[in-house]
């Protein structure tokens, strides 16, 4: 008994020493990477961002100290949002929030959304009471373990201000659940104005536009492409989930809407965003398969309820290095020499699906549905797509 306890203690001591050595190694690696980013890459951004050294460093993760700067550069500002335009939308949001409060709360609302400088004279109608209520509710549920975004937290006012301003900036979209998570991650990396610019431009990308604007026909194409991509890369797991009728939408929707921010640890989410901003939407689906690949053996032993529960509540403790090792096979470029069968990248599969779905005259719902029926898809996905296209708002 005593001998076993000594062995256990020795093993634990060895593990602690190894963990300490690894921590020191990673800290030194981060310092070196940060110097390379700040001294070599950022000062020569346009040329350096395309180099192999930058590509390799990027895959290892952008140093937290400069992550916000790099994200802003990569996301860009194609919407040409100026500080003046941002302030106008902050004013509109401030007015609407204050109108929704009692008189006793009026000054507090101005402080939250416009630092007490409300000079507008008309009452806007861009930000509905439903949106305001949903924003407040979602903020309270955003990274609760951090305590940063709750009402007494240091980032509450910033998050409220950003989301309110965006709802006024894009009233046709307004506020939808999960936006708070995306905005929160950006605010942790950069100041309020650049975070707003990044947020608005990010939600203007094709994948986000399809989902946040509820363009169901576009969403359909993404789901079909993902289903085919998974069947190509993880055929055994794909067959298992299809047999159980575990539809992709049961877990993939949340992963896409929040860009994994609600499902994965924050540090891993940031690592995924690093590469996503570089490689585009394809990486979201590569990362999704990476998660499935990492837990494939466990999922293959589960029934329907267990699979759904697992995929919608991923383990809180997760190794970032393990996950990226499982993502990497989907990112590398395949050649005829290293594969036994031809493989297609997600973007190729998506383009093929889009061509098939859009062939001929697809101006009407019936034509679009007819093209969909001619596309081969898994049984589980077929059920979801049928439900989707039968929606009165489809197309």
> What is the 3-class SS of 337-378, one letter each residue?
CCCCCCCCCHHHHHHHHHHHHHCCCCCCHHHHHHHHHCCCCC
Distances (CA, A) of 119 to 81, 129, 270, 374: 21, 21, 38, 58
In a domain, residue 76? The reply is no
Give the contacts of 347 (CB within 8 A, at least 6 positions apart): 280, 282
In a domain, residue 69? The reply is no
Q: How far is 185 from 142, CA to CA, in rounded Å?
A: 10
Q: Show which of 188, 204, 220 is a domain's final residue.
A: 204
Give the contacts of 360 (CB within 8 A, at least 6 positions apart): 367, 371
**Considering only CA atoms, which of 138, 126, 171 is closest in space to residue 149?**
138
In a domain, residue 78? The reply is no
58 near 274, Cβ under 8 Å? yes
Q: How far is 136 from 297, CA to CA, in rounded Å?
A: 40
Q: Are residues 191 and 133 in the same domain?
A: yes
**Considering only CA atoms, which of 79, 266, 83, 277 is closest in space to residue 173?**
79
Instruction: Write down the pLDDT at residue 378.
Output: 81
Distances (CA, A) of 314 to 99, 283, 295, 307: 41, 19, 10, 10
Q: Are residues 197 and 226 in the same domain?
A: no
195 near 227, Cβ under 8 Å? no
Q: What share of the chain is helix, strand, coil (3-state, %, to 5)?
A: 70, 0, 30
In a domain, residue 394? The reply is no
| Triad 310, 282, 38: Cα angle to 5° | 100
In a domain, residue 395? The reply is no
Q: Which residue has the tokens 């310092």?
A: 31
Q: Are residues 7 and 108 in the same domain?
A: no
Instruction: Write down the pLDDT at residue 372.
Output: 74
Q: Are residues 259 and 384 in the same domain?
A: yes
Distances (CA, A) of 102 to 44, 98, 106, 117: 53, 8, 7, 18
In a domain, residue 66? The reply is no
Q: Which residues of 210-236 are buried (b: 16+ CB within 10 A; e: fewer)?
A: bbbeeebbbbbbbbbbbbbbbbbbbee
Q: What is the dihedral of CA 360, 366, 368, 371, to 10 degrees?
A: -70
Q: Give how many domains the chain has, as a whole number.
A: 3
Q: Are residues 327 and 361 in the same domain?
A: yes
- Give the domain range for residue 315: 209-389
65, burial (CB in 10 Å: exposed 0-12, middle 13-18, buried 19+): exposed
In a domain, residue 73? The reply is no
Q: Are residues 214 and 189 in the same domain?
A: no
Rg, the chain, Cα only: 24
pLDDT in tens, the chain (395 residues): 788 888 888 888 887 887 777 777 777 777 888 999 999 999 999 999 999 999 999 999 999 999 999 999 999 999 999 999 999 999 998 886 666 554 434 434 444 445 544 443 334 445 666 778 889 889 989 999 899 998 889 999 999 999 999 999 999 998 998 999 999 999 999 999 999 999 999 999 999 999 999 998 899 999 999 999 999 999 999 999 999 999 999 999 999 999 999 999 999 999 999 999 999 999 999 999 999 999 999 999 999 999 999 999 999 999 999 999 999 999 976 554 455 557 899 999 999 999 988 876 556 566 667 777 777 778 788 877 777 666 655 55
Q: Are residues 10 and 154 in the same domain?
A: no
Measured from the Cβ of residue 324, the count of other Cβ atoms closer than 10 Å reads 20
Instruction: Write down the pLDDT at residue 106.
Output: 45
Q: Are residues 153 and 178 in the same domain?
A: yes
Q: Are residues 214 and 153 in the same domain?
A: no
Q: Show which of 204, 231, 248 is a domain's final residue.
A: 204
Q: How far is 183 from 352, CA to CA, in rounded Å?
A: 33
In a domain, residue 9? The reply is yes
The domain that contains 196 carries what CATH number? 1.10.8.270
Q: Show which of 153, 177, 204 is a domain's final residue.
A: 204
Q: How far is 133 from 137, CA to CA, in rounded Å?
A: 6
Joined together, the tokens standing for residue 228 give 């085919």
Q: Are residues 239 and 363 in the same domain?
A: yes
- Residue 18 φ/ψ, nearest 5 degrees: -65, -40
Q: Are residues 7 and 123 in the same domain?
A: no
Q: Are residues 258 and 372 in the same domain?
A: yes
Q: Which residues of 155-168 are buried (b: 16+ CB within 10 A; e: fewer)?
A: bbbbbbbbbbbbbb
């Amino acid at each position: 008994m005593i001998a076993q306890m000594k062995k256990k203690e020795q093993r634990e001591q060895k593990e602690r020493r190894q963990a300490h050595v690894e921590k020191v190694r990673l800290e030194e690696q981060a310092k070196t990477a940060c110097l390379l980013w700040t001294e070599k890459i950022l000062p020569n951004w346009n040329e350096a961002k395309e180099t192999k050294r930058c590509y390799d460093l990027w895959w290892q993760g952008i140093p937290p100290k400069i992550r916000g700067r790099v994200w802003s550069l990569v996301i860009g500002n194609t919407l040409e949002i100026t500080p003046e335009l941002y302030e106008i939308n902050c004013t509109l949001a401030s007015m609407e929030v204050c109108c929704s409060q009692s008189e006793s709360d009026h000054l507090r609302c101005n402080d939250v959304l416009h630092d007490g400088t409300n000079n507008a004279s008309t009452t806007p109608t861009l930000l509905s009471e439903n949106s305001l209520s949903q924003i407040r509710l979602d903020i309270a549920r955003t990274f609760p373990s951090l305590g940063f975004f709750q009402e007494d937290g240091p980032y509450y006012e910033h998050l409220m201000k950003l989301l309110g301003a965006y709802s006024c900036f894009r009233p046709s979209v307004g506020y939808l659940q999960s936006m708070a998570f995306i905005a929160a991650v950006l605010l942790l990396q950069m100041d309020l104005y650049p975070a707003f610019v990044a947020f608005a431009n990010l939600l203007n990308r094709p994948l986000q536009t399809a989902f946040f604007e509820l363009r169901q026909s576009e969403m359909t194409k993404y789901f079909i492409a993902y289903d085919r991509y998974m069947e190509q890369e993880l055929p055994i797991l794909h067959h298992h989930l299809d047999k159980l009728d575990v539809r992709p939408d049961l877990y993939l929707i949340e992963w896409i809407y929040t860009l994994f921010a609600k499902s994965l640890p924050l540090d891993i989410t940031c690592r995924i965003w690093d590469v996503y901003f570089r490689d585009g939407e394809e990486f979201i689906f590569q990362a999704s398969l990476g998660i499935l690949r990492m837990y494939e053996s466990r999922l293959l032993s589960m029934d329907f309820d267990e699979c759904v529960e697992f995929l919608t509540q991923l383990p809180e403790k997760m190794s970032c290095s393990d996950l990226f090792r499982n993502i990497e096979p989907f990112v590398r470029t395949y050649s005829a020499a290293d594969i036994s069968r031809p493989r297609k990248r997600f973007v190729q599969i998506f383009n093929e699906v889009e061509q098939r779905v859009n062939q001929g005259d697809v101006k009407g719902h019936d034509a679009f549905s007819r093209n969909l029926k001619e596309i081969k898809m898994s049984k589980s996905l077929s059920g979801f797509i049928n439900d989707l296209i039968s929606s009165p708002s489809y197309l």
